[in-house]
Chain A
Amino acid sequence: MFGISDPGIYMAYLLVFLCVIFAVVYGIINWNKE
């Protein structure tokens, strides 16, 4: 996918993407917030 066949590189891009998704969701949910 996206011209990348090496699973090591593909996984790195995937994790970067997931990390951004997490940061955006976490940031929005906890924007005004044990």
Chain B
Amino acid sequence: MNTFVLGLIVLAYLISLTYLGFKGYKKSSTDKDYLLAGGEIHPFVMAVSYGATFISSSAIIGFGGVAANFGMGLIWLTFLNMFVGVVVAFLFFGRKTRRIGHKLNAHTFPEFLGKSYNSKAIQVFAGAVIFIAMPLYAAVVLKGGAVFIEKIFEIDYNIALFLFALVIAAYVIAGGLRGVMYTDALQGTIMFASMIFLLIWTYKTIGMGFGEANIHLSEMASEVPDKLRAIGHMGWTSMPKAGSPWWYTLVTSLILGVGIGVLAQPQLVVRFMTVKSTKELNRAVLIGCVFILATTGIIFTVGAVSNIFFMQTEGQIAINAVKDLDKIIPEYIKAAMPGWFAAIFMLTILSASMSTLSSQFHAMGTSIGRDVVSTLSKKQRNNTRITRGGVAFAIIISYIICYTLSISVIARGTAIFFGICAATFLPAYFCSLYWKRTTAKAALWSMISGFSASLFALLFMHAKESQALGISQFIFGKPVLFDKMPWPVLDPMIISLPISILVIVVLTLISNDSAAKNKTVLA
């Protein structure tokens, strides 16, 4: 496809985004408009926006590459994304969050937690954690989009990164959550349609049906590199050897870390407060589940099956043909798909990145603007202006972090953030909905202990991060604190989430304070 046609497609896409961003800007006159899209979003827009925010270029490029390496075991993550990320999230968390959020007049996730426990400390701490931890997640998504633009347009990575960040900044700062959700709906629709095509064309390209391809992939198990076989890789249609390092990485980091962490994602929780009734949430269950299946279910399957394509065309498996996990899917699209689809898929990746990034920037901006600065400030200020400043600041921070990232980092960066969110927020969030006796003190200490335990495990226990950071080596003279299996390969969330749960339960049970003294009465 020539650059002129490619440019036209991108121009049409950008004009559509500008129109939707402007529409959001025109309708954003109050704090509630800017922070909660007015609280009356259509269920289709809400569900597709939730899905498009959840499924980023990290899921498509990062985890698609991971599926090429790990195989179909990643389909467990699709199941958790659908069951936990949509069914449990919407029906058991979303319905109550919407109702309580409306009653408390909460506009952000930290504000929801803070008002639930009648504690400004909780709101400020939650806002600070989001602002500290989320830029890493935003940076890996930003990198995913920029790498793809670099490969397709064959332009300098630095220019791709700058232009990409600039376009998103424009409509998030101007349009607020309404602009974000309108553009999400367009981007989600593009993602859905192109994923369906990708699935059909993949099986057409390799000349096999679903069952036949799986049999062929099973027979390719002998092609697994010896170094991967030694750590538990059993082939692309088998789960890794139970208890092996490969199994722990797949199950604890990639499947559980992301699968459970979704429940406490600030940028997703706020979606529940943008609809006006439970009817919208009921409808969103159907739309959300189908969307998640069509995105993660397809890319994880295609990622695994791409090994057949690379074997047919280059005589070697995907990871040997491409080397960098984050470049397997872009290379596969370029080599296996028709030229015109490469342009459409580029829009899909841009859409996936932009829909997630816009929500991340919005969440970070509202955290620093509304939850930290406005809460700590004694003066009455223009909240929307502060939030817009926070969004701009968050974009700059994420942009800078992009330059520090190494290769094959996209999926791992996502899993780290999801794990930190689960350990820090999930127990306090769950108890704010379902355990009225929980005290503010217990919730705050649960959040502090969950966040601290996550950081400790990342710095001193989980080999991938502790070896790279070198702090454990510097202090203790060894790369990880405990080198006996499975500690070096156990995801930090598996350690920090139980600690956070234990703290909130024990502190609540031993507290003499009644809930009425500590919490805003919700009934």
Contact = CB atoms under 8 A, between A and B. Distances in A.
B79 A16 contact: yes
A33 B79 contact: no
18 contacts: A2-B211, A2-B214, A3-B214, A3-B215, A5-B237, A6-B238, A6-B239, A12-B73, A12-B78, A15-B83, A16-B297, A20-B82, A23-B82, A23-B286, A24-B289, A26-B282, A26-B286, A33-B278
B79 A23 contact: no
A16 to B, nearest CB: 5
A26 B83 contact: no
A3 B87 contact: no
Interface string A1-34: 1111110110011011001101110111011110
Contact of B285 (A1, A5, A16, A23): A23
A1 B238 CA distance: 14
Interface centre among B87, B234, B286 (most CB of A within 10 A): B286
B212 interface: yes
A26 to B, nearest CB: 6
Contacts, number: 94
Contact of A12 (B76, B87, B210): B76
B290 interface: yes
Nearest to B47: A27
B210 A3 contact: yes
Contacts of B282: 26-27, 30-31, 33
A15 B285 CA distance: 16
A10 B342 CA distance: 31
Contacts of B279: 30, 32-33
A12 B286 contact: no
Interface in B51-83: 71-73, 75-76, 78-79, 82-83
Contacts of B234: 6
Contacts of A1: 211
